[in-house]
Amino acid sequence: MKIEGEYLFDGPREVVWEIVRDPDILATALPGTQSLEKISENEYQGEMQVRIGPVGGLFSGRVVISDEIPPESLTMTVEGKGKPGFVKGTGFIKLSPAENSKTQMQYQGDLEVGGRLASVGQRMMDSVSKSLLKQGLDSLNQALLARVSSAESGEVVDYEAPSEAQFAASVAKDMASDALASRKVWWIGAAVVLLIIILVIVILSQG
Amino acid sequence: MKKYIGERIKRNEDPRLLTGQALFVDDVDLPGMLYAAFLRSDYAHARLISIDVSEALQRPGVVAVYTAEIMGDEWQPGPANVSPPPTVENITFHSRTQLPLAKGKVRHVGEPIAVVVAESRYIAEDALEDILIEFEPLEVVADIEKALDPEAPLVHDDLDSNLAAYMVQDKGDYQAAKTKADVIIKRRIEIDRGAAAAMENRGIVANWEARSQHLTVWDTTQAPIPIRNGVASRLGLNQTQVRVIAPYIGGGFGPKMMMHYPEEIMIPWLSVKLGRPVKWIEDRRENFFGTTQERSQVHDAEILLSNEGKILGISHKFLHDSGAYDPYGLTIPLNTESHAAGAYDVPNYHSELTVVFTNKMYTSPIRGAGRPQGIFLVERLLDIAARELGIDPLEIRLRNLIPPEAFPYDREIIDQAFALLTFDSGNYKPAIEMAAEKIGYEQFIKEEGPRLRAEGHTVGIGIIPFVETTGVGPYEGARVNIEPSGKVTVATGVGTQGQGHFTSFAQIVAEQLGVPVSDIDLVTGDSADFHWGTGTFASRGAVVAGNAIHASASIVRGKVLKLASKLLNAPEEELELEDGFVRVADLPRLSISLGDLAAEANPLRGAVEPGTEPGLEATAYFGPKSGATAFGVHAMIIEVDQETLMVEIKRYVVVEDCGTVLNPLILDGQVHGGVAMGIGNSYYEQLIFDENAQLLNASFADYLIPTACEIPNIEVAHFVTPSPLNPLGTKGAGEAGAIPVPALFAQALENAFADVGLEILEMPLSPNRLFELLQEKVSQP
Amino acid sequence: MSDHYQLSITVNDTQYQREVDPRLLLSDFLRHELGLTGTHIGCEHGVCGACTVLYDGLPIRSCLMFAVQADGHHILTVESLGNPENLHVIQQAFWDAHGLQCGFCTPGILMTLVPFLENNPHPDEDQIRHAISGNLCRCTGYQHIVDAVKLAAEYMHS
Amino acid sequence: MKPPPFEYIKPSSIDEALVHLAEHGYDAKPLAGGQSLIPMMNFRLAQPAVLVDLNNIPELSFIRRDEQGGLSIGAMTRHYMVEHDLLVAERAPLVSEAMPHIATTQIRSRGTFGGSIAHADPSAELVAISVALDGRFQLRGQAGTREIDARDFFLGMFTTQVEPEELLVEIALPPMPPRTGWALKEISRRPHDFALVGVAALVTLNGRDQIEAARIVLFSVGDGPVIAEKAGDLLQDQPATQDLFRAAAEIAGTEDVDPSSDIHASSAYRRQLVKVLTRQALETALDRARESVN
């Protein structure tokens, strides 16, 4: 499955690139996250209990960051595995400066889905991925704005752990709202978004 | 004498089926029975690094878990299901048969890797989730056209390519004919995969009785005898130690043939191993991944014609997708070759078949079995030719039919049974005219069609003739016996899956013995009752088993007449058999019941004369020297919603010539069912795989089997050209209904969209696909 | 988890008491606990209709319900209709019109039709086809089934 | 395809059910009709630890008239009851019209009105219709009761405002304004399939036989019900003509939706269907608005 798109961030590229740092915060930010460890400089592994509507399962995800050219582009490879099946994917993300200190993101992803996930979840795979990615990026953008404004006002952005329902509704919002942390972590966040996309997809074949 | 053959007689089997009292495999319930579930691959192609079953074994209720490794020396690939092709000229064939459990690597999604045996199916499925497997994903062979690229990954590492088979067949001199052709039409034609999707999934119950050293297997198979033989050989048992019962079967359509599926070998093996009865019932998900599929082929086709529309030659090079293994040999592609010249007299024919391995479930014949692809090819080419030459589609077909005087007609190629393909008999033109008459072809072309279009309706008509090679050997047999009760018992080895054999076969016996059909009890598909035979497939039941039954019944009739003439003191020619009695024609009072006669034939005192046998029983066999070729014509009028591309079938007409008709009621039902499946194959049913050979629609929510609302009323008429190859004159009909439908659908759609010059070169279609094709037309007219 | 539950259920006018695992599907309960194997299982995701039975008089998918939920309720299966010697009129019509081939989907279709014909004594072809559109049949192409339903309606009036 | 094990709880009142939901939180799943949940469990895609069965709570099953001339429907009211209810036919004919499109007879015997809405399948007729009719949903938790408008209720694919310790208990459907016509149009491959595209439309006429307001809600075109705002605005205060409806349908198909592709229909084909069905729905709704006496 191909995922492709563009997104305009309301902040300068450096900040977009910088608002992501520390994995530990993310672990607490993502409900259901049971473990999240940094295996090597560019490799992260996580386990999370994901629930979307009635569908749930323990998913283990692995993210590898490669070819990164700060603050411009990088490639990420995602692998997720759970009882309902597996997901393998590669994503390329490019950030380029846009007018009035905004940032244009281009992303291309190719996702391979297998198992029950693939065989009964087709009815709306496309629309789920579209909408969840958009939600994720919107939320990240909000976090960006928060970061920018708080930088100006000096206020700290508080993080309030979301309910899983809110979480499922707008995955990355919660991540972003304080995973104002390590770059790698956001990509793990993105990986998780992908995993969740896949899980959501599963429900859709059912009526 | 009273007629039974050809009568619309109600089915003997129905009362039990209607009241839920007929035994299906899943109904078998034995004390101490265990339940199996298979762990299947999520990957289309991956190396098996490690399998850890320890946690599964810990789970309460789990009795055993097996993998290929745990099976040790007892692991061996399944047998080939049909004899490998003969070593004719330029033939390559690499036999790779299915495995009981995957070893080393998996070759398609759904391939069994491990089996759990537990006290209930629920627990067995729980335990599947306890098994941990480490896979190393490999590059996938998903596209048949890329399968032979030099850099393509190998499905079977020990072969140097994914080539499974290659074969060339020629009639006449195609290249020479090409130099003389006025018109040459070349097209690429593609047909994709579908599922048989019988309402009953597969299932096996095996019960090994150690004390009697005897194995009983209930199997949803169309071919119990070959399965009995295969199981016996795999388990190292004598054939007499194994009894295979094919009870009532919830639909077959091909994939339940003698496939020796992994489960068909594993379940009996497990029962012997564990000394307890073991049951495995396939669920619908498994059916989409673990039961054979069909139809995927890509043809580069060419037809040569004269300006008068006479076919000078047909040539096609094609790829057949065999999936991960090829246990069913060349049956499907050879069938395609046998039908790619349709019902036409084609002097020059060149065909090149290439079978490739891919990382998909392996294929085997499904109702039609390669024939729909062949008919689709020739009929598509003819429709395109008709347009180019400005000849009416029906007319160009009439100009090319094999004439009645040409029979037996030699195609000069070999068929699926490796016999020379000869059409035994036929009289095509009147049958086509009958169909054209019924659908009102002329009238629609000239008046109705134009009028409806003027009123804004998008309507189209189609009419397609087709042949079907049926009734192939090797043989079937039957035993007929008259009981002292006067009832007649008949036993044959073929399985039955709803074709009404309990009735149509009984009619054949009734015709000989003058016994009411309801007094004839048929046993079919139980190797304990009759253990010679092949099975019900390739539209062969009524032809091969039917004539074997006819042969045994005739012998019994002879015995009846002989004994009765002795007891009644009347010459045999003056005797007649009716209503269970033998009567002297002009002295009806002089009569004896068949029951009493049977008792007399098995005396308790005195001696049975030398050279004679006790009882009124006979066993006989029938093996046709070649298949009988049936013929049919389908015609259809459709209306398409121009905006939504939904298609409504306004009328559907079938004229069927399958030789002597045993029971028109049953035959009509067979035709209706075939047409319904053909409509599915044309506009609803398609197995959709992604580029990693993952099946994307493995449920009845996404794989669209037509309901009563999509299938029209079908008007069926019969035209009879008996086969000279068997005493009954029968030809097969089981698959016929499905064969021409894709070609018919394409023709009717092109007729409906003639104004935009729509050309259809693929099947199946869908409203979505039709929308795309029309968009393309609009964008580059 | 998954302790057993006491279940008291009336099937084909006979009362049964059973201990069941709450996850046991009604379809499996009928077939394997009570031995009423006339109800068939074709897909276990609610599309094919083979497992249709009457629950308090209404047609339902017995594969989409847990047996424990039927506690205190009335179930009718195909076994409640007739026997080979004495067929229910709908069964008789199916026999006379050749409304079945392999017979696997038939019990589900019969149980769908019982309430349908009670509520629609004079159905036209379109109504009949819609009524059975929740039951897949792979053998008959539906035509003889439709004929059988028309015939059944006639029988019911005479 | 056998469901995984779970703990089964069978409360006999809403309050009792809420106690269990609060206790088990995300581990528990309310079991309504189960016609979507149980297939998921049979596929082992859903594996809830606890099922709270709502089928023995009589107070959740009712159809009542309200003083404003609308009606309210209990969450556990079964589809077949709604389908054949005269009050629904009189006060919410759009609902009656939709009912036969919901799956099959066998599913409608068991499936529930609230269950379908809470499941929030973007292809579900009732999801779109509840938005078209400005429905209000009553959610009950131990903390108390809250009401949410249908248009704010659906957060996304299978996601609603309902928190794990809450239950959707009642759906209120206000009366349609006077001189309002309704229509539901959908296209599906087979009668009981999910619609490839569906449209619920309301058209209200003013005294001068112009369109006072038009509401077009599309389903199966995104991750939830989609209100065709631009098409609706175009129709506002306009005389109803064929050309206007065509224009509105065109806008709905091109600007109001961004449908996705799946194995049954491409995005382009869905846009085409949106245009066709929107036009047809508006025409039918207009005719009914003109027929309507009040």
- Considering the domain architecture, whether residues C47 and C100 belong to the same structural domain is answered as no
**Which two three-digit tokens encode residue A48?**
């999370």
Q: Of B622, B641, B656, which residue is a domain's last?
A: B622
Contact yes or no for B130/B59 (Cβ under 8 A): yes
Among A15-29, B537-551, D60-74, the least confident range: A15-29
Say yes or no: C97 and C75 in one domain: no
Whether C20 and C67 map to the same domain: the answer is: yes
Q: What is the pLDDT of residues A85-116, one digit of tens each?
A: 887 888 888 889 999 889 998 888 887 888 88
Does residue C98 sit in the same domain as residue C134? yes
Amino acid at A62: R
Nearest CB partner across the interface for B250, out of C104, C130, C133:
C104
Residue D199 CA to residue D216 CA, distance in Å, equals: 7
Q: Cβ C22–D34 below 8 Å, yes or no?
A: no
Q: Of D42, B684, B704, nearest to C61 (Cα)?
A: D42
| Percent of chain B scoring above 70 in pLDDT | 99
How distant is the Cα of B698 from the closest Cα of chain A, in angstroms? 5
Q: What is the CATH number of the domain that holds B583?
A: 3.30.365.10
Residue A155 — very low, low, confident or very high, per pLDDT cuts 50/70/90? low
Q: So what's the pLDDT on residue D46?
A: 86
Query: What's the pLDDT at A159?
Result: 39
pLDDT at B494: 86
> What tokens appear for C76 in the block?
């009718």
**pLDDT tens digit sequence for B101-146:** 999 999 999 999 999 999 999 999 999 999 999 999 999 999 999 9
DSSP character string of B522-566: EEESBTTT------S-TT-IIIIIHHHHHHHHHHHHHHHHHHHHH
Q: What is the reported pLDDT for A179? A: 32
The DSSP code sequence of A103-124 is EEEEEEEEEEEETHHHHH-GGG
- B29-40 in b/e form (b: 16+ CB < 10 A) is eeeebbbbbbbb
Q: Nearest CA to C102 among B675, B222, B535, B371?
A: B222
Token pair recorded at residue C87: 């067929």
Same-domain check for residues C122 and C152: yes
pLDDT at A160: 41
Full strand arrangement of the beta sheet holding D144-149: D63-65, D71-74, D167-173, D136-141, D144-149
Which residue, of C80, C111, C146, is where some domain finishes?
C80
Crossing angle for the helix pair C143-157 and B664-679, to the nearest 10 degrees: 120
Using a CB-CB distance cutoff of 8 angstroms, which residues of chain D are in contact with residue A206? 36, 39-40, 43, 45
Which three-class secondary structure state does DSSP give residue B574?
helix
Structure confidence by residue, pLDDT tens digits, D102-145: 999 999 999 999 999 999 999 999 999 999 999 999 999 999 99
**Structure-model confidence comparison of residues B508 and D158, the more confident one:** B508
**pLDDT over 70 (residue A201):** no
At residue B411, does pLDDT exceed 90? yes
Alpha carbon distance B536, D282 (integer Å): 55
Three-class SS state of A201: helix
d(CA A183, CA D287): 59
Mutate to test the interface with A, among B131, B289, B694, B766 (most CBs of A within 10 A): B694
Residue A188's pLDDT band, with cuts at 50, 70 and 90, is: very low
Q: Name the DSSP letter for residue C30.
A: I
Q: What is the pLDDT of residues B239-295, one digit of tens each?
A: 999 999 999 999 999 999 989 999 999 999 999 999 999 999 999 999 999 999 999
Into how many domains does chain B fold? 3
Q: Name B588's Cβ contacts closer than 8 Å, sequence gap at least 6.
A: none
Pair B502, B598 in one domain: yes
Q: Kindly state the tokens that stand for B126.
A: 């729980």
Same domain, B536 and B583: yes
Query: Rounded distance, CA D77 to CA D57, Å?
Result: 11
Residue D252: phi, psi to the nearest 5?
Answer: -55, -45
The predicted model gives A195-201 an average pLDDT of 50
Both C75 and C21 in a single domain?
A: yes
Least confident range from A138-147, B727-736, D17-26: namely A138-147
Find the chain D residues whose C-beta atoms sit closer than 8 A to any C-beta of B. 1-5, 43-44, 187, 189-194, 263-266, 268-269, 272-273, 276
Give residue B465's domain range.
Answer: 293-472+625-779
Considering the domain architecture, whether residues B353 and B435 belong to the same structural domain is answered as yes
Which of C52, C80, C108 corresponds to the end of one domain? C80
C-alpha Rg value of chain B to the nearest Å: 28
Evaluate whether B91 touches B85 at the Cβ level (below 8 Å). Answer: yes
pLDDT in tens, D198-234: 999 999 999 888 999 999 999 999 889 999 999 999 9
| CATH assignment at residue C39 | 3.10.20.30
Please say whether the dihedral angle defined by the alpha carbons of residues B25, B29, B33 and B34, taken in this order, is positive or negative: positive
Domain residues for C102? 89-157
Residue type, B665: L
Q: What is the pLDDT of residue D222?
A: 86
Domain boundary among B622, B639, B654: B622
Domain boundary among B597, B622, B647: B622
Structure confidence at residue A16 (pLDDT): 78
Q: Give CA–CA dist B623/B532, Å, rounded.
A: 12
Do B479 and B457 share a structural domain? no
What lies within 8 Å, CB to CB, of B462 at 6+ separation is: B393, B634, B635, B636, B638, B744, B745, B746, B747, B748, B751
Amino acid code (one letter) for B752: A
A2-204 fold:
Alpha-D-Glucose-1,6-Bisphosphate; Chain A, domain 4 (3.30.530)
Reported ipTM: the value is: 0.93
Per the document, the length of chain A is 207
Residue type, D286: L
* DSSP track, chain D: --PPP-EEE--SSHHHHHHHHHHHGGGEEEESS-TTHHHHHHTTS---SEEEE-TT-GGG--EEE-TTS-EEEETT-BHHHHHT-HHHHHH-HHHHHHGGGSS-HHHHTT-BHHHHHHHT-TT-HHHHHHHHTT-EEEEEETTEEEEEEHHHHEEETTEES--TT-EEEEEEEPPPPTTEEEEEEEE-SSTTSPPSEEEEEEEEE-TTSBEEEEEEEEESSSSS-EE-HHHHHHHTT-B--HHHHHHHHHHIIIII--PPP-SS--HHHHHHHHHHHHHHHHHHHHHHHHH---
pTM above 0.90, yes or no: yes
Tell me: the pLDDT tens digits for B468-484?
Answer: 999 888 899 999 999 99
Question: Residue B707 and residue C23: Cβ atoms within 8 Å?
Answer: no
Q: Which own/partner contact pairs does B573-576 have at CB distance under 8 Å and 24+ positions apart?
A: B576/B1, B576/B514
Q: What value does the mean pLDDT of chain D take?
A: 95
Mean pLDDT value of segment B645-650: 98
Spell out which residues of chain B touch residue C32, defining contact as CB-CB under 8 Å.
29
- Judge if C93 and C134 occupy the same domain: yes
> What are the structural domains, with CATH classification, of chain D?
7-53 (3.30.43.10), 62-173 (3.30.465.10), 180-291 (3.30.390.50)
Q: CB under 8 Å to D233, separation ≥6 — which residues?
A: none
Least CB–CB distance from A122: residue in B42, B285, B696: B696
Average pLDDT of the segment spanning A49-58: 67
Q: Which residue of chain B has the CA closest to C106?
A: B18
Q: Is D7 on the interface with C (CB under 8 A)?
A: yes
| Minimum distance, in Å, between the CA of residue A60 and any CA atom of chain B | 14
What would the two tokens of residue D190 be?
């087979």
Position D233, amino acid: D
* Structure tokens, C134: 């929740």
β-pair partners for A91: A76, A109
Minimum CA–CA partner of D80 in chain C: C58
Residue at which a domain ends, from C80, C102, C132: C80
**pLDDT tops 60 at residue A31:** no
Mapped onto helix, strand or coil, the DSSP state of residue A188 is helix
Residue of chain C with shortest Cα separation from D38: C64
pLDDT at B163: 97
Rg of chain D (C-alpha set): 19
Query: What's the pLDDT score for residue B82?
Result: 79
Give φ, ψ of B293 to 5 degrees. Answer: -130, 180
Same domain as B658, residue B537: no
Choose the weakest-confidence range: A108-112, B43-47, B194-198, B772-776: A108-112
The confidence band for A182, taking pLDDT boundaries of 50, 70 and 90, is very low
Per-residue model confidence (pLDDT) at position B461: 98
Query: Strands D50-53 and D28-31: what pairing?
Result: parallel
Residues of C in contact with D47 (CB under 8 A): none
Structure confidence at residue A28 as a pLDDT band (50, 70, 90): very low
Q: Which residue has the higher pLDDT, B328 or D260?
A: B328
Cβ separation D51–C22 shorter than 8 A: yes
Could you tell me if B598 and B484 lie in one domain? yes
Q: How many domains does chain C have?
A: 2
Task: Return d(Cα B628, Cα B470) in angstroms, integer.
Answer: 5
Q: Please report which confidence band the pLDDT of residue A6 belongs to, taking 50, 70 and 90 as the band edges.
A: confident
Give which of C31, C53, C138, C149 to mutate to test B binding, by max B Cβ within 10 Å. Answer: C138
In chain A, DSSP finds a helix count (H) and a strand count (E) of 7, 7
Closest-CA residue in chain C for B707? C133
| pLDDT for position B1 | 66
Q: What are phi and psi of B556, to 5 degrees?
A: -60, -40
pLDDT for res A176: 31
Give yes or no for B664 touching C (CB within 8 A): no
Model pLDDT for residues B165-176, shown as the tens digit of each residue: 999 999 999 999
| % chain A with pLDDT above 70 | 48
B336 and B386 fall within a common domain? yes
CA-nearest of B490, B499, B498, B488 to B530 is: B490
Same structural domain for residues C13 and C67? yes
Q: Are B69 and B63 in contact (CB under 8 A)?
A: no
Please tell me the predicted confidence (pLDDT) of residue A3: 78
pLDDT in 10s for each residue of chain C, 158 residues: 447 999 999 999 999 999 999 999 999 999 999 999 999 999 999 999 999 999 999 999 999 999 999 999 999 999 999 999 999 999 999 999 999 999 999 999 999 999 999 999 999 999 999 999 999 999 999 999 999 999 999 999 98
Does any domain span residue B166?
A: no
Q: Do C117 and C143 share a domain, yes or no? A: yes
Expressed in angstroms, the distance from the first to the final Cα of chain D is 53
Peptide linkage before B764 cis (omega within 30 of 0): yes
What subunits touch chain A, counting only 3 or more CB pairs under 8 A?
B, D
